[in-house]
Amino acid sequence: MRPQITFRMKGTTGLLVAAVIIVALLIWFPGYWLFFAVSVGLGVVIALMLFLRNKYFPVSDKDVENKHPLGLE
């Protein structure tokens, strides 16, 4: 039986590792630029739409039908 090698990353370390991987992919694979740009662009547009919808049309108590779905009071 081979010993398992595990890496435990939390918080800032995991974020930095993810950023390094993305930068490496952007440098090594030129075709990844288009995919990355489209993905980030869609994410920003959807986030902006949700932000503006919730800012100008917030959900009120009367819009929610079942306020206690588990029957808890």
In this structure, the dihedral spanned by the alpha carbons of residues 44, 36, 34 and 24, taken in order and rounded to 10 degrees, is 150
| pTM, entire model | 0.60
Alpha-carbon span 73 to 69, nearest angstrom: 10
Q: Which domain holds residue 57?
A: 30-64
Q: How many domains does the chain have?
A: 1
Distance CA 41, CA 37 (A): 6
pLDDT recorded at residue 67? 74
Side chain identity at residue 36, one-letter code: F
Q: Evaluate whether residue 51 is within a structural domain.
A: yes
pLDDT of residue 20: 94
pLDDT digits (tens, 9 = 90+) for 13-65: 888 998 999 899 889 988 888 998 999 999 999 999 999 999 999 988 888 78
Please state, in angstroms and rounded to a whole number, the distance separating the CA atoms of residues 36 and 12.
22
Domain presence at residue 36 = yes
